[in-house]
Amino acid sequence: MKSIALASRLKLEKYEKVFHSINRYLKKNNKEVYLEKRVADMMGIKQYKEFIPGKTSVDLVLVLGGDGTFLRIVNKMRNLNTKFFGINMGNLGFLSEIPPIQINKTLKKVFNGEYSIDKRMMLHIDHIRDNKVIGTYNALNEVTITQGTLSRLINLRTKVDKKKLTNFESDGLIIATPTGSTAYSLSAGGPIVYPTMKAIILTPICPHTFTHRPIVIPDNKVVDVMVDSDYELINLTIDGQRSVSLKHKDVIHIKRNGTINLVRLLNETYFKTLREKLGWGEKIEKNY
């Protein structure tokens, strides 16, 4: 890995010394360093090689922030051969593996090859209106269709490989990857799915019919959801980062879109992350 990009969320001025430390470490180890503009501005660097997600090709992107920052960067990338490594400067940090205090020590391990690669599935989304594609998006976690103004059920006619699945009458529908199974889908009652499994999860949000439970289907299936409610505001949300207005009869066409390469340390496991980040299976101490 020769070319390394630093990307981050806004308002991380308290970590400015950490950014400078990483920059010095990378240059000391003869790496070609690219900085996202917001990073360079925060560090006060005027002359630098700019990293523009989706336009600049690098070997590794160091994402400094929380899961939202990670999703923002990944969704804009076009070269899926790029590797991504998250440094947690947010809250939960489910995708961001380590705290900033360990970064230089951790980078040494990564550059020595002491890591594994998790290949995480992406979704490709086409927004279709009057038989024309009017928007195309990528998602690492999920795509969500919801009614945005009133607490009112919407009807979503859903097909898998052009065959009827069901008509979801609910507050909305989440179509998630295994990576996204521990995000919004989990909050809505969906299952935890191991992140490297080849699957797509459909989770209705507060369904009107009790029998409308989440369903897991193979990742080679194509999902089409038609909006069959004529309300003023129905939204399509991609990874919680982008919102698009939908109209009556719009169709959302969803399919697998390759994988991204997520760098993982050898001593880190998915089950350890579940326990530490979500408290999964851990006994909760009762304080009275």
Which amino acids are annotated catalytic? Answer: 67
Q: Is 59 helix (H, G, I), strand (E, B) or coil?
A: coil
CA–CA distances in Å: residue 212 to residues 133, 155, 156, 202, 246: 29, 13, 12, 10, 23
Count the Cβ atoms, other than its own, within 10 Å of residue 20: 14
Distance CA 59, CA 145 (A): 34
Torsion angle (degrees, nearest 10) of CA 23, 26, 32, 33: -20
> Tokens 């989304």 correspond to what residue?
125
Torsion angle (degrees, nearest 10) of CA 10, 11, 15, 19: 30
CB-based burial, 57-66: b 16+ in 10 Å, e otherwise: ebebbbbbbb
- The Cβ-side half-sphere exposure at 65, using a 13 Å CA radius, reads 20
Q: Are 274 and 280 in contact (CB under 8 A)?
A: yes
